[in-house]
Amino acid sequence: MNIDQKLSELGLKLPPAPKPVGLYQPFVVSGKLAFLSGQISRDAEGKLLTGKVGLDLSLAEGQAAARLAALNALSIMKHLIGFEKIRRVVKMTGFVQTAPDFYEIPAVVNGASELFAEVMGESGSHARSAVGMASLPLNAAVEIELILELK
Residue at 128 is within a domain: yes
CA atoms within a 13 Å half-sphere pointing along the CA-CB vector of 136: 28
Domain count for the chain: 1
Residue at 4 is within a domain: no
Residue at 14 is within a domain: no
DSSP 75-135: HHIIIII-GGGEEEEEEEEEEEEB-TT---HHHHHHHHHHHHHHHHGGGG--EEEEEEES-
Residue at 3 is within a domain: no
* Nearest-angstrom CA–CA distance, 104 and 86: 31
Residue 142: what residue type?
A: V
Q: Which pLDDT score, from 0 to 100, does residue 19 have?
A: 87
Q: Which pLDDT score, from 0 to 100, does residue 1 have?
A: 57
Identify the CATH number of the domain in which residue 69 sits.
3.30.1330.40
Task: State the 10-residue block means of pLDDT for the chain, 151 residues long.
Answer: 90 90 94 98 91 98 98 96 97 99 98 98 98 97 98 97
Residue at 51 is within a domain: yes
The range of the structural domain enclosing residue 96 comes to 25-150
* Nearest-angstrom CA–CA distance, 108 and 105: 5
Say which residues have a Cβ less than 8 Å from residue 58's Cβ, sequence separation at least 6: none
Residue at 19 is within a domain: no
Residue at 113 is within a domain: yes
Q: Which pLDDT score, from 0 to 100, does residue 101 have?
A: 97
Q: Is the pTM of this model over 0.85?
A: yes
15, 50, 13: which is closest to 137 by C-alpha?
Answer: 50
Residue at 20 is within a domain: no
